[in-house]
Amino acid sequence: MRQLFLILLCIGFGCMLSAQQIHLIDREWINSMRSNKTNDTIYVINFWATWCKPCVAELPYFEQLHKQTQDKKIKVVLVSNDTKKALTDKLPQFIAEKQIQSKVLFMNETNANEWIELLNKNWSGAIPATWIIKPNEQRELFHEGELTFEELTKLINQLNKQ
């Protein structure tokens, strides 16, 4: 009986680890976000990594926003800037352990300078960084650094008032 319980527990944990598929993106994804003129959804896109302490500290705020806006035209997207090796081992486990429900993407670019400047020419490349965009209205905001939940919601409201 104990062995059966352990087997079921391992199967359940394995399913939990693979619950979310991490999609690869590249710099063209940034262009496609900006060019989608028919999309009236606000995207809150956070650039982060599992090794970045301030990134991990603010993740609960993005998850809170995700949960509070599921019935609204606001989508939270977490873009991992971890290493390619972490994509197959550390990142899926981290997502499962933290119970992240927001969509997770992986920036699959070897030269960060090429896509960082494309996203925002004033971005130093430091993370965490947050890009908030409403494609159909061609409005966007960019924030470099850690955010609180209040600061995050203030940025979204600011974008809506532009």
Q: Record the tokens describing residue 10, joined without a space.
A: 């391992």
- H or E element in which residue 161 lies: helix 149-161
pLDDT digits (tens, 9 = 90+) for 35-67: 988 889 999 999 999 999 999 999 999 999 999
Closest of 104, 19, 18, 100 to residue 60, by C-alpha: 100
Decide the pairing of beta strands 129-134 and 139-144.
Answer: antiparallel
CATH topology for 21-161? Answer: Glutaredoxin (3.40.30)
Give helix 149-161 / helix 53-68 axis angle, nearest 10°: 60
Residue where the block lists tokens 């890009």: 131
Q: What is the pLDDT along the chain (162 residues), one digit of tens a residue?
A: 555 344 444 444 444 444 589 999 999 999 999 998 888 999 999 999 999 999 999 999 999 999 999 999 999 999 999 999 999 889 999 999 999 999 999 999 988 888 999 999 999 999 999 999 999 999 999 999 999 999 999 999 999 887
Q: What is the pTM of this model?
A: 0.86
